[in-house]
Amino acid sequence: MTNTTVFNHLVNEYNRLAYTHNYIFGFEDRGVIYAVGATSEVLTTVCTLDRASRGAGYSLRFKPNKAQKEYLKTFGVMVVCSADYFKSTCAEMKYNRGELFEKLITEYYGQVWEKDNVPFTEDGDLTVDGIAYQIKFEKATFINEKTLHNLRR
């Protein structure tokens, strides 16, 4: 299989299995942390094929480059905080950057954030006005080949 074939396969299978096709993407650009709402149609544009860790094959990752960040901004952006604030807050807590971003977005919508492990096949990370969203911060993995194989069992 070519890399393009693997990439398209991971996108298609992720979309087939996902509970929701609505996303809040987070990324840093020029010292600012942004949030952008979009749907699954952008996955082929803003995701990349990467090697998963621990022998899990290839992974579908949200690792936007400069052009992809500019593309996402065309959907409208929300300024979340400064990159300095984000970095210092992350250093002070036990959670990673993705979890901190999820916490900030959840609290922005007036909800209480709790770390959970609900699978992407069962629910989103946040529900606002009856719409479920997956929240992804840059460098987040959507799915890898090993996970996909295990979900097919």
Q: How many CB atoms lie within 10 A of CB 32?
A: 15
User: What is the domain range of residue 79?
Assistant: 3-146
- Judge whether 46 lies within some domain: yes
Asked if residue 152 is part of any domain, the answer here is no
Residue 34 located in a structural domain: yes
Q: Are strands 22-29 and 131-137 parallel, antiparallel or unpaired?
A: parallel
Residue 41 lies in a domain: yes
For 68-116, write each residue's pLDDT tens digit: 999 999 999 999 999 999 999 999 998 899 999 999 999 999 999 999 8
Tell me whether strands 32-39 and 58-62 are parallel, antiparallel or unpaired.
unpaired
Total-model pTM: 0.94
Count of domains forming the chain? 1
Segment 25-54, tens digit of pLDDT:
999 999 999 999 999 999 999 999 999 888
